[in-house]
Chains A and B, each alone.
Chain A
């Protein structure tokens, strides 16, 4: 559905200006599928800059990850935004990408990804099956 950059907030989405909790946006792969790389990055960073934790069902491609780092760097400002913390399950191997995927330039990005403000999220433990994070309020 073409149109303006989608926002996680729908018409019926509850207000997120509560001070007594941390909002978590879990974004499905289907929701991300129709977005351009830049729209995905904007969706993530807008949420994170609002102090939300963003969980992507299917993660980003390496190229999108690279651009996410680049755009994040351009938005860091003293006493306001110090960057992001991002965690995915460790990638098994590049070898799990099929030959056809490589040929077609498709990257295997089926990896749940957690992204949050660097000053609010801390990874306690990460292995192939578990990501354990400590999330604090602003």
Chain B
């Protein structure tokens, strides 16, 4: 806004009378005050926090856990079938209070990001071909939408990984790179610590430049630390 307005004022300055120059200075002052007050109000607006990660990492389970803990409502249905979430879903004005500090966030639960979707994989989950094709089409639209949100519409990211699986995948590497390139605050959560084979350290080793928080969103384990970190990172 400031940069768009600036060239116009600069062009006009050379032709101004003394009165107009003074008026211009007043306008500049008014603009400056307005930017400061806008900034103050912007700080109070909810931050849009995108929950990202590969399919089946437990993103919706986490989104539901956070929403239920602080608002009593859920965000969306959970399922073991990949791409259950096929549209980005937002839960607005979730107020999280931690150590006397209150943060208000909009949780955006996004479809699991992938570079490929084959409807045949859904046939293994008791679906007929029409349903599988429809699901895959919705899934591709959802992933495209999630990428768009990441570039344009989120203020921070909670990146959820299944701690029982290998984190060194291309999708994880690319997404973390994209998040870093946007300078978004990012919290990495190693989910499913309740399952045998969970290896939180492997995730910490994969992304040493970020803090990794273990949790089980399903069982609600270590959510206290998750909320403390959310307040710290996004407050």
Contacts and interface: CB of A to CB of B under 8 A. Distances in A.
Contact of A73 (B118, B143, B182): B143
A126 B140 contact: no
A74 B144 contact: yes
Chain B interface residue count: which class?
Answer: 20 to 34
B114 interface: yes
B116 A74 contact: no
B233 interface: no
A51 to B, nearest CB: 15
A91 interface: yes
A118 B177 contact: no
Interface of B: 113-119, 133, 136-137, 140-141, 143-144, 147-148, 150-151, 168, 170, 173-174, 177-178, 180-182, 209
Contacts of A95: 209
Nearest to B133: A78
Interface string A43-63: 000000000000000000111
Contacts of B182: 62
Interface string A105-121: 00100000000001100
Contacts of A63: 151, 178, 181
Chain B's interface: helix, strand, loop or mixed, by majority?
A: helix
Nearest to A87: B170
Interface residues of A, number: 31
Interface stretch (A10-18, A27-35, A64-72): A64-72
Contacts of B137: 78
12 contacts: A62-B174, A66-B174, A69-B144, A69-B174, A70-B144, A72-B116, A73-B144, A83-B118, A84-B116, A85-B116, A93-B209, A118-B118
Given A84-B115, A85-B115, A85-B116, A69 B147 contact: yes
B35 to A, nearest CB: 23
A78 B136 contact: yes
Contact of B170 (A76, A83, A88, A119): A88
Contacts of B140: 73-74, 76
Given A73-B143, A86-B170, A119-B118, A66 B151 contact: yes
A63 B115 CA distance: 15
B180 A94 contact: yes
